[in-house]
Amino acid sequence: MKRSYEEINEKIKQGDAVVMTAEEIIEVVEREGVEQATKEVDVVTTGTFGAMCSSGVFLNFGHSEPPIKMTKAWLNGVPAYTGLAAVDAYIGATEPREDGNLDYGGAHVIEDLIAGRPVRLRATAHGTDCYPRREIDTYVSLDTLNQAYMFNPRNAYQNYGVATNSSERTLFTYMGKLLPKYGNASYSSAGQLSPLLNDPHLRTIGIGTRIFLGGAQGYVAWEGTQYRTTTPERNGVPTGASRNLAVVGDLREMSTDFIRALDFQKYGVSLGVGVGVPIPILDEEMMKCVSIRDDQIFAPVLDYAVQSRTRKPMKEVSYAELRSGSIELAGKKVRTSSLSSYAKAKQIAELLKKQMLEGEFLLTRPVAMLPTERAQKPLDLHSREEVA
């Protein structure tokens, strides 16, 4: 059977659409089979909430009197990028405070703005004929800004590695605190609830797809950075980091429930971002995709004691094993921790479902599809001639 975006949207508007979360659908497909489930269900919602370092916010401060073309700017002491027009800036999530204080950074500025808290803005400038002012020290808040929109170049990774540590010392990484001698292992995907694992070849997710972003209705803007399609597959889904999304959304509609500053000790700051994507059940093939279970999704276990980009996976483990609380590594039972919140992933999928049942969230057909073939290149040392 086939179903169109238009048909589904009509049903959503009428309040007749049947929507289920990617977790709920598993049981339905097991009970009734793919064919019957396809007939019954129009949309399956997904969700994920995890540390997404490649995130940040574009801001326009408005013009001061006299005007300034900001050369350098700081928000609560955190440098913002101002190599744009006069009072435009980008505050990156992982930017640390300049005073060396590693536990407050761009992510905290973003969370403070969403929470409606005042943020101190300091900026300096060279001064020009058209922008004579040379410095400003003031307070801004979400209310005083013109535009404030999140633009995250890499979110919602399709699967990711599992981190562990064979060395004699504790490692402090973006995958959390890794205890010595395989003392623990951390992972970071919502597995069966994760957006891109439910549409593994991005048949329905592309540029312009409306998504849940941090509580707002946002959009897919582009392929994410380090997007790649070359990761080997098992059960139809990649067995490691693969595709991801560049996303955009209005900070004013976001909530600190779904955007949260995170601090990784001795690594730095990151941003917890909640993303949800509705998957239209266009046909049986889509239903098959969304019925994927944690025991069918595998991730490579990587030893972060190896400080190289070419870490060889120790083994592959399923998300069912990871979620059980421990995995077996080097002949030892190793306890696992998730870095992404499954509780929040569920909450996002359920919220998205509710919004669709109430007619508040409509599907969009992608304006253009994301690449079907993309390899990831490394950064090597080259002479000018070699890259010319």
Partner 1 sequence: MPIRKFLLTFNPEIVSEPITYRIVKDFDLMINILRAEIDEQGGRLMIAFEGNGPQIQKAVRYLEDSGVQVQELKEFIRKDDNRCTNCGMCISICPVSAYQMDKKTWKVIFLNEKCIACGMCIDACPPGAIKLRAQI
Annotated catalytic residues are: 130
Q: Which amino acid is at 246?
A: A
d(C-alpha 352, C-alpha 211), whole Å: 9
- Per CB under 8 A, does 79 bind partner 1? no
- Per CB under 8 A, does 261 bind partner 1? yes
d(C-alpha 351, C-alpha 361), whole Å: 10
Which residue, 56 or 206, is less far from partner 1 as judged by CB? 56
Which residue, 191 or 278, is less far from partner 1 as judged by CB? 191
Q: Which amino acid is at 267?
A: Y
Site string for partner 1, 120-139 (x = CB under 8 A): --------------------
3-class state of residue 157 by DSSP: coil
- Per CB under 8 A, does 335 bind partner 1? yes
| Binding test (CB under 8 A) with partner 1, winner from 155, 198, 209, 270 | 270
Number of Cβ atoms within 10 Å of the Cβ of 20: 21
d(C-alpha 44, C-alpha 277), whole Å: 9
Looking up tokens 């992510």 gives 107
| Binding test (CB under 8 A) with partner 1, winner from 177, 203, 210, 374 | 177
- Per CB under 8 A, does 186 bind partner 1? yes
- Per CB under 8 A, does 212 bind partner 1? no
Closest C-alpha to 204, from 151, 275, 281, 292: 281
- Per CB under 8 A, does 213 bind partner 1? no
Q: In angstroms, what is the C-alpha Rg of the chain?
A: 22
Q: Exposed, middle or buried, 207 (CB in 10 Å: 0-12/13-18/19+)?
A: middle
Binding segment (CB under 8 A) for partner 1, from list 137-145, 294-302, 342-350, 380-388:
342-350
- Per CB under 8 A, does 353 bind partner 1? no
Which residue, 66 or 325, is less far from partner 1 as judged by CB? 325
- Per CB under 8 A, does 202 bind partner 1? no
Counting residues that bind partner 1 (by CB under 8 A) gives 32
3-class state of residue 360 by DSSP: coil
Quote the least distance from Cβ 73 to partner 1, whole Å.
26
| Binding test (CB under 8 A) with partner 1, winner from 297, 346, 351, 353 | 346
- Per CB under 8 A, does 272 bind partner 1? yes
User: Residue 56: enclosing H or E segment and its boundaries?
Assistant: strand 56-60
CB 19 within 8 A of CB 40: no
Binding residues for partner 1, rule: CB under 8 A, are 49-51, 103, 176-177, 179, 183-186, 260-265, 270, 272, 325, 334-344, 346
